[in-house]
Amino acid sequence: MTATVRISFPGTNAATLETTRGRPLATLLDGRGPIDFGCHVGVCGTCLARVKLIGAGSLTAKSEHEKALTAFYGFEEDNVRLLCLLEAVGDLEIQAV
Ligand code: FES
């Protein structure tokens, strides 16, 4: 498992980012990608996005709080996540919802 992971944004002109595995996505992406961030603590819903993990690794499971908030915004799918609660655990494709 490499220490470097790639974060891409299909369907946009945003450049793919390379970073160290384990970095918080809010720290990495706020102001540097096509997804906006607000509170950084999983409350405001601004960072909702579809997340696809490519290859090895696994994202943390949705907490009950995250499930409730994503459902509140109309997204029941497991792959719609609050980016501010996730880390760069592997190569990711991220799309705004
Ligand atoms: S930035 Fe507010 S929920 Fe993620």
* CATH topology classification for 4-96: Ubiquitin-like (UB roll) (3.10.20)
What's the pLDDT band for 4 if we cut at 50, 70, 90? very high
85's tokens = 């609660």
User: What does pLDDT average to over the chain?
Assistant: 94
**Contact status, residue 35 vs residue 21, Cβ threshold 8 Å:** no
Longest dimension (CA), the chain: 36
- Where do the structural domains in the chain lie, given as residue ranges? 4-96
Assess whether the C-beta atom of 46 lies below 6 angstroms from ligand 1: yes
CA of residue 48 to ligand 1 center, whole Å: 7
State the pTM of this model. 0.93
Q: Could you give the CA distance from residue 4 to residue 22 in angstroms, rounded to a whole number?
A: 9
* pLDDT, position 56: 79
Convert the pLDDT of each residue in 19-28 to its tens digit: 999 999 999 9
CA 22, distance to chain mean position in Å, is: 12
pLDDT at 55 exceeding the cut of 90: no
**Contact status, residue 42 vs residue 65, Cβ threshold 8 Å:** yes
